[in-house]
Amino acid sequence: MTNTAYPDLCLWIGGRWIEAGGRTGEPVIDPATGATLGLLPHAGADDVDAAVAAAADGFRLWRRTSAVERSALLRRTADLMRADAGSLAALIALELGKPVVEAVREVETAAGMFDWAAEECRRSYGRIIPPRTPGHRLMALREPVGPVAAFSGWNAPAITPARKIAGALGAGCSIVIKPSEGTPASALFIARALAESGLPAGVANMLFGNPGAVAERLLEAEAIRMVSFTGSIPVGKHLAALATRTMKRGVFELGGHAPVLVFPDVDVDAVARGAAAAKFRSSGQICTSPTRFYVHHSIHDRFAAAFAEAATAIRVGDPFDSATQMGPVQNARRLAAVEALVEDARRNGATVAAGGARIDRPGFFYRPTVLTGVTDACRAASEEPFGPLALVASFRDADEAVGLANRLSLGLASYVFTRDLALADRLSAEIECGNVVVNHWVVSHPETPFGGIKDSGIGLEGGTEGFQAFEQVKFVSQAPL
């Protein structure tokens, strides 16, 4: 750990670091011990209004800043994040409970978001349309949409804020972002890197507080022209409804319950070992976490046994121990939720092949858990566990596998394992989700589009498509006098 001290927490509005003062607040909890790390001040209505006003002023300046200048600032931010990667990784491990080895990789991915936006903002091209009338000019111009209200969760405390901030700033927008109150220091680290990079006051602002009150105040503001939200489906639907009242465009990345289809022509043991590493990364608290494992009936028992063995072998412990492969879940609510899903599955006839219990130590630790014999009567079959819980069931043919994959109203990520590329192509076309991953476990990169369909979201983040979400097209038709 580069710096073991937990920083003082604050708001960032109009270039000013605003401490608690007389504001209400809440404690930030270390999930590995249950101890209080610090006190986070809450933004009041006046703070939200000040952030909106600062973003409106910042937008008027930032939209006129050249793409070359924006690119250079974003690159400086990425460089600063990498230069002190150990400190940010330590904050992620402390607030989220993610093993520090994984947290270092998250820092690199988050810095990569700024690299990508720095590159893409120099490639934001309009187009010239051939005119019907000689001497006329028809132009489609790309412009920043305006001040953005953004909301990010605690499960990717550097990546998600970085993706939203970098995309907005690269496109020429200003932003007011409310990261999670569970992982504030990780997000504030990025804010400080932006400030040190020379970002003009008000172009980016960071608030914490009562999520509902802050969100409603932001989305009521006429100056805010777009909302970017990562979080739960119920909250996302509520914010989408609020956004339509003032005709704000929106990008919503919501929940998942990712299916994994495993066919009999694979190396069963190798896929099972990879499945355990992927499933229990960050304690399964990833929206694309592979969760519903549908395995061909001819290899089901072998896969389930190998998967359970690999899950049992995962080393759970202190996030700062280099030998740790999985830490705690982030909060007591998640621990209780996973425990309730497992108990419900037991009552409905499922078998616990691995794990299935809390770990008797301080903090919010739960064993890596694999369930077999899960039926539709089990809540876990339909509810995203968002924790260290995997389900294994069987299918007889590709048609049944597709039906199982598509049975829920969710469609964020899915995984397919087969050597038959024709089958892989068919499944990629028929599975209803925004991201299909074939024969490996990596869903997204800074340069690739990411988003869900159905109840898993609207719009895209990342890649060229995600960058363009922060832009609007203006058509200009010009004739000579």
The DSSP result for 391-431, as a single string, is EEEEESSHHHHHHHHTSSSEESEEEEE-S-HHHHHHHHHHS
pLDDT band of residue 251 (cuts 50, 70, 90) is very high
Give alpha helix (H) positions in 326-391: 332-347
| Residue 2 pLDDT > 80 | no
Average pLDDT of the residues in 445-473: 98
d(CA 106, CA 90): 11
d(CA 202, CA 206): 10
pLDDT of 210: 96
pLDDT band of residue 5 (cuts 50, 70, 90) is confident
Q: Are 372 and 303 within 8 A, CB to CB?
A: no
Please identify which residue in the block is written with the tokens 């003082």: 8
Q: Is 253 a catalytic residue?
A: yes
Catalytic residue among 95, 181, 253, 461: 253
Q: Are 383 and 408 within 8 A, CB to CB?
A: no
Q: Are 153 and 126 within 8 A, CB to CB?
A: no
| Residue 1 pLDDT > 50 | no
Catalytic residue among 173, 287, 378, 433: 287
The architecture (CATH level 2) of 258-445 comes to 3-Layer(aba) Sandwich (3.40)
Report how many helices (DSSP H) and strands (DSSP E) the chain contains, helices first: 14, 22
pLDDT digits 0-9 by tens, 112-129: 999 999 999 999 999 999
pTM score:
0.96
Q: Are 459 and 451 within 8 A, CB to CB?
A: yes
pLDDT band of residue 155 (cuts 50, 70, 90) is very high
pLDDT digits 0-9 by tens, 53-64: 999 999 999 999
pLDDT digits 0-9 by tens, 209-248: 999 999 999 999 999 999 999 999 999 999 999 999 999 9
Between 19-23, 370-374, 436-440, 467-471, the lowest mean confidence (pLDDT) is in: 19-23
pLDDT of 4: 61
Quote helix, strand, coil % in the chain, to nearest 5: 40, 20, 40
Q: For the chain, what are the domain ranges?
A: 11-254+456-477, 258-445
Q: Which residues, in sequence order, are bridge partners of residue 39?
A: 27
CA-CA-CA-CA torsion sign (105, 110, 114, 120): positive
State the CATH class of domain 11-254+456-477: alpha beta
pLDDT of 474: 98
Provide, rounded to the nearest whole percent, the portion of the chain with pLDDT above 70. 99
Residue-averaged pLDDT of the chain: 97
Q: Is 287 a catalytic residue?
A: yes
| Residue 3 pLDDT > 70 | no
> Vertex 441, ends 455 and 467: CA angle to 5°?
55
